[in-house]
Structure 1
C-alpha cells in the first residue's frame, strides 16, 4: 500500500484528533439551549470496520490482473477499510449512512496511479473492460460527489490521486506553478513556501482536500477576496479523457470559443481525470494581519462588507457572522484565553456597548484580513476602519482573530462530536447580489425554523458571510438539530428548505460545494432547462457510455 494520507472512515480528520468541550465552560449550556443535547453524557461508540459487513468486490481475475499491470501490485487495494474510505465523502448523509452500515455499493478496487501515463492506462482499461472510474482526492466532499450509484452493476474502481502530489515547476516570471492534482493543501503550500510562493487557497477542508478536488468542485477559499476562487487560480490543466487528453494551456486570456477550462471546473470527474493543474501563485506577503471587529447587527455587518467590496481597500478576508454564529463562537472559547464575555476586557467592552444602546444578543463578530507591505496594510486598515465605524462597528484587535486563525480548519470536528451524541449538523451555502442578500438570509432562517417546528425538534441555524465580490457575496449557513431514529429524513426536510429558499430568494444552489447528488434536483431551477441540456450534452460527448463518475451533477 502506498503512503497516502486518508481521513478516518467514520468522520472528519485523522484518528486521535477530535473536539473536546471540557476546557470550554460555556459550551455545554449553549448546546443544551441550541439543540437540546446534554453533551456531558458519554457518547455513542462508532462501529468498528468489522461490524460493517462490507460487500465483497465485484471484479474478475482478468480485471485484477490488468489493474496491477496499469499501476503495479503495491498500488491496488481490495481490503475493506480502503474500500469503505473511498465509498463516501463527508456530508451529513454520508456519515449517517456509514454509521448505519448502509453500504449498498462499494468500490470494488482502489488504485493509486503515480503518473499521467498510469491514469491513461486506467481510462483505456475502463473503456475496454466496461469499468466505472471515480476520481478521488482527499475525500472531503459534502455534496455526494464520490459514492458509486447503488444500482451500478459494472466493476467500480476508485482512482486515488494521492501519489501524484508534487509541484513540478514554477515559472517565476509569470507566477505560474505546474502541480500534480493529488497534492493535499498543506503539502502544496509547504512545497510552494520553500520557493517563496503561496497559492493563497485555504478552504475549510484545506488540511484534507486536494488541488484536483478543488478544481473538480469549483472550490473557494477563506482568502478568495484577494486571491480569487479556484476558477480564477487554475489557469491551465491536463485531463485524461476516454478519447484523448485535454490540454488547457495557461494563457492569460483567450477568446477561442467556449472555454474548455470552464467546462472542467466543477465537472466532478465526469469529464475525465484531472492529472495536473497550472495555478497562479503569489510571492508570500511581507505582512499578514487578521483583526476582529464587532457589529451591532448582522444587517450592519453586511452593509459594511458591501461598502468595503467597492472601496479602495482589498482585504484578503471579509467575514462577518450573524448573532447566532457569534454566540456559538463565544461558547467554544476557552475560559482563560482571548476575548470573551467573561474576560475582564470583554466584560468592560460589553458594558460600554450596552450603555451605547447595543442589544448584545444581536452583536455580530467579524474577521478581516490584510496582506502586503507595511504601508499597504496600514492604508487598507484605515479605509476599512472608517467604513466599520460608519456602520456602528468597533474594533476588537488581534486577540480573537488569532484564535480564529488557529482553529479555522477545526469546525468539522464539532459535527462528529454532535453526531456521537445524537445531534445532526451540516452546512449549505449560496451566493446572491448585495440587494438580495439580507432578504435571502432572513427567509432562510425563517423557513428552517418552520421545519424544526414541524419536525418537533430543537434546532439551530446560523450564518456568516464568507466571501465578498463586487456585486454580491456568499452566505454560509450551518444548521444543527437533535435527531430521532430517522435522521436522514429529517435532514432532507431541512436541506430542502435551505436549497429551495436559496433559489426562490435569488441565490445559487451552491457557491463552492459543487452539485454532486445533494443538489442535482435543483440544478434546472438554477441554470435553466437549456443549461442542463448543455451540461448533459458535454458529458455525453466526452463520456458517451457514462463510465466516469456517473450520476453526479445530472442524474444520467
Structure 2
C-alpha cells in the first residue's frame, strides 16, 4: 500500500477559512472566459438555421446575467445550527452569502439554467459548509440531524437530473455539504490495482494524482472536468471509455458514507456473498443514504498506446449492427460510438474550415462514396477506441475493421478521432451558447436490448418531432449510440429548439415526450444521469410499483426523519 496523504488533519478541523473551492458559473457551464464560438466553423450557422430556424448572424446574445438583480431568499438557519456547524468545520467554513447559496441551489440541466437566470429561487440552501476531511463530514451530519435540518451533498454541481435542488416545500433549514476540500487520492494498493480516493476529487484532480504513478481510473464522463468521484457514485455514472473499464458501478469496490450516528463502510473486495448488496444500495442513491466521503476504486496501468479511429457507415442500421457485432465478438475496444445521420451532420458542421490537402481529401472521399451509391444525407460517423500494448491494439483494430467492412463501413483514419478526443468535454458549452441566443438544448439517454435499439431510435425521434408540432416550434433531435454491452446499448439523444413564450412548459413537453418514448419502446428513464426529480415519474415503469415500494421502504427505514436529500428518486 502506497500512502499518499494523511487521512485527516492531525489536530482536527481547521478553524480558519479554507482556500476557496472553485465552482462553475452560477448562470451556466464551466468557468468564466471559456465559451463556444462559431466564427471559425463556416458550416455551423447554416446548420443551426436549418435545424431550428435560428439565425446566428442576426441573433444578439444575452449579456451575462446580473447577479445583483436576483432576489435571493434570506437564510432561515437559526444561530444554534450555525454555531454547531462552526464547531464541526471551523467558523470560516460555514457560509451564508447569497452567491455561495445560489451556486449550491441547482445543477446544470436546461431547466436549472433557465430558472436560475430568471431568478426563480423558491428555496435555496440556508448554509453551505466546507468540511476538510471525513471526520468533519461526520460532525456536520450529526449536527444537522440533531438540529432537524436537511442535508444535500454537493460535488461539482454538474448534475442534470434535479438531484441538487432543495424541495420547495421544505420548511426546515437546509445545509449544502460541499465536498470540494476532500480532493485527494489517499493511497494505492498496487498489487490489487485499487485506489482510495476522497469523494470531492474532481476528474482532472484524480488523473493528475494517479497518472504520475502510472495509473488511471479510466472513467471519463462528459462532465469529467467539473464532476467528482462522489457524484459519479451517487448517480451511477458512465464514462466515454466504459466499454473497456466499466461504468462507475463496476469500478467502485469499496465505500465510506457518513450517516447519522456513524460511518457506513463497504470493504473493497473483488466479490462477496453478504446478503443484499449495500454497495449497490449506495450506488445511485443521490445522497439519500448519507454523504459519501470516499470510494475505493479499480485503477489500471496507463496503456502503452491509445488511439481512436473514425469510420463512416452508409446508414444508422449498418452502424448499430456493427456495434452489436463488435459487442458480441472477442474484441474489447475502449470506445464504440456511432452517431446517426442527424448527429453526423452536426459534427461535420462544427468542424473548422478545411484547407489545402485536408479539404481535397474530404471532397475526394465524399465523391468516392457517392459513386458507391451512398446517400450522404444518411452518412453515420463512428469512433472506435483501442488501448493496450501496440500489438494488442493492432490485433483489436484488425478484428474490428473486419466487422466494420462486413457491415459496409469504411475507415477514415485517426484525424477525426484526435479532434473528438480533444473536444470531448466541451459539448456542454454549446448549450449555454444556444441559451444566450434564446434557444434551448438538452440531453436524455436510455438503454435497451439490441433487439429494440433501432425501433427505439426511430420512435424517440418521431415522438420529439410530434412534441415540436404540438408546441408550434421548429426543433431538432439527434442521437448517438454511446456504450455497448453484450445484451444491448445506450442511446444518447440531444434535442434543441428556439424558445417561445413559456420556455419551461415547452421544454417539459419535449422532454416528457422523449422520456415517455423510452418507456413505451422498452428502454429505461436514465442510463447514467440518475433519477433525481427529472426522471422520477417514470421510475415505476422501469422497476415496477413494488420496486419503488422497496426503495421507499429503504429510505424510510434508514432516514426516518427525512434529513438526507429528501424528495429525490422517490417522494
Please indicate the TM-score interval, normalised by the length of the shorter structure.
over 0.9
- Which of 117, 136, 147 aligns to 1:118? It is 136
Equivalent residue, structure 2, for 1:218: 236
Is residue 2–residue 112 contact of structure 1 (8 Å, CA) maintained in 2?
A: no
Deviation at 1:338, TM superposition (A): 11
- Once the two structures are TM-superposed, the CA of residue 134 in structure 1 deviates from its matched residue by 0.2
Q: What CA distance in whole angstroms lies between the structure 1 residues aligned with 2:349 and 2:42?
A: 8
Q: What is the aligned partner in structure 1 of residue 24 from structure 2?
A: 7
- 1:151-180 Cα deviation digits (max 9, x unpaired): 111110000000000000100000000010
Question: What residue is the counterpart of 2:473 in the other structure?
Answer: 457
Verify the 8 A CA contact 1:46 1:99 in the aligned structure 2: no
Match of residue 48 from structure 2: 31
What is the aligned counterpart of 1:234 among 244, 252, 257?
A: 252
Task: Give the match for residue 8 of structure 2.
Answer: none
Select which of 254, 259, 262 maps to 2:272.
Answer: 254
Q: Which of 404, 416, 423 does residue 388 from structure 1 map onto?
A: 404
Aligned equivalents of 2:417, 2:60: Cα separation in 1: 32
Q: Which residue of 2 is the match for residue 307 of structure 1?
A: 325
Cα shift readout 1:442-472 (whole Å, capped 9, x = no counterpart): 1000111011112111100000000000000
1:132 corresponds, among 147, 150, 158, to: 150
1:244 Cα offset (Å)? 2.2
Kindly provide the CA deviation profile for residues 271-306 of structure 1, in whole angstroms up to 9, marking residues without a partner as x.
000001000000000000111000000110000000
The question of whether the paired residues in 1 share the 8 Å contact of 2:182 and 2:200 is answered with yes
Among 503, 528, 531, the residue aligned to 1:487: 503
Q: How far, CA to CA, are the matches of 1:533 and 1:62 in structure 2?
A: 36
Partner of 1:161: 179
1:474 aligned onto 2:490: yes
Alpha-carbon separation, structure 1, partners of 2:182 and 2:324: 40
Other-structure match for 1:51: 69
Kept after mapping to 2: 8 A contact 1:338/1:400: no
Distance (Å, rounded) in 2 between the aligned partners of 1:487 and 1:475? 25
**Within-5 A mapping of 1:57-136:** 57-136=75-154
Compare 466-475 and 123-132 and name the one that shifted more.
Answer: 123-132
Q: Which runs of 4+ in 1 moved over 3 A?
A: 336-340
1:493-532 to 2 correspondences below 5 Å? 493-532=509-548
Partners of 2:217 and 2:532 in 1: CA distance? 26
Do 1:431 and 1:508's aligned partners in 2 also have CA atoms closer than 8 Å?
yes
Which residue is equivalent to 2:15?
none
Alignment RMSD (CA, Å):
1.1
Per-residue CA deviations over 1:488-547 (Å, capped at 9, x if unaligned) read 101111111111111111111100000000000111111001100111111111111111
Gaps of 5+ in 2: 1-17
Residue in structure 2 matching 1:274, options 292, 295, 301: 292
- Cα distance in 2 for partners of 1:336, 1:345 equals 10
Stretch moving more, 442-451 or 331-340: 331-340
User: 1:43, 1:421 within 8 Å by CA — same for their partners in 2?
Assistant: yes
For residue 421 of structure 2, what is the aligned residue in structure 1? 405
Q: 1:290 to 1:497 in 2, by over 3 A?
A: same
| 1:528 counterpart SS class | helix
> Secondary structure of 1:158's match?
strand
CA separation in 2, counterparts of 1:243 and 1:308?
Answer: 49
- Counterpart of 1:287? 305
Superposition deviation, residue 243 in structure 1:
3.6
Aligned pair 1:143/2:161, yes or no?
A: yes
1:21 equivalenced with 2:21 (yes/no): no
Deviations 1:67-108 (A, max 9, x none): 111101221111111111100000011001011110000111
Residue 9 (structure 2) aligns with: none
Output the CA distance in 1 between the equivalents of 2:425 and 2:461: 25
CA deviation string 1:95-145 (max 9, x = no partner)? 010111100001111100111111111111122100100000000000000
Compute the TM-score of the two structures, normalised by the length of structure 2: 0.96
Instruction: Report the 3-state secondary structure (helix = DSSP H, G, I; strand = E; otherwise coil) of the residue aligned with 2:412.
Output: strand
**Do 2:288 and 2:564's aligned partners in 1 also have CA atoms closer than 8 Å?**
yes
Between the aligned partners of 2:68 and 2:477, the Cα distance in structure 1 is 36
Q: 1:339, 1:400 within 8 Å by CA — same for their partners in 2? A: no
What is the TM-score with the length of structure 1 in the denominator?
0.98
1:297 matched to which residue of 2? 315
Q: Quick one: structure 1 residues 334 and 543, their matched pair in 2 at CA, closer, same or farther if it must change by over 3 Å?
A: same
CA 1:338 to 1:124, structure 2 compared with 1: closer, same or farther past 3 Å?
farther
Matches of 2:214 and 2:91 in 1, distance apart? 38
